[in-house]
Amino acid sequence: MAGKKVEIYTWSTCPYCIRAKALLDKKSVKYTEYVIDGDSQARDAMSIRANGRRSVPQIFIDDQHIGGCDDIHALEAQGQLDHLLTV
C-alpha cells in the first residue's frame, strides 16, 4: 500500500511492536522504524511527538499520532486504517 509516510517507534523485543509491524507488513505498508532500545533521548523525543505517551510502539501517519498497537489494530477492525493510509 503506497501513499502516506508511516513512522513507528519500537523496542526490538517488544511483542506489541512486533504485532503492530506485522499488521503493517501484512498490508504491504512501507514504514520508517526507529528502534529506541534503551535510548532515553530518543524516547523523550518520541514522547513529545506522542503527546506524552512513553510506551512503545508509537505510530504516526503523515506526522499524525495514531497511537500504539491496540490503537492501530482498532483502526483496522473498524475499517478506518486503509483510509488513513491512502487518503
Domain boundaries, the chain: 6-86
pLDDT score recorded for residue 86: 87
35 burial level (CB within 10 Å; 0-12, 13-18, 19+): middle
Is the pLDDT confidence value at 1 over 50? no
Is the pLDDT confidence value at 87 over 80? no
Give the separation between CA 47 and CA 30, rounded to whole angstroms. Answer: 23
CATH 3.40.30.10 for the 6-86 domain, yes or no: yes
Share the mean pLDDT of the chain.
95
* Range list of H helices, 27-80: 40-49, 69-77
In this predicted model, what pLDDT tens digit does every residue of 36-72 receive, in sequence order? Answer: 999 999 999 999 999 999 999 999 999 999 999 999 9
pTM, 2 dp: 0.93
Give the separation between CA 22 and CA 49, rounded to whole angstroms. Answer: 23
CB-based contact 61:5 (threshold 8 Å): yes
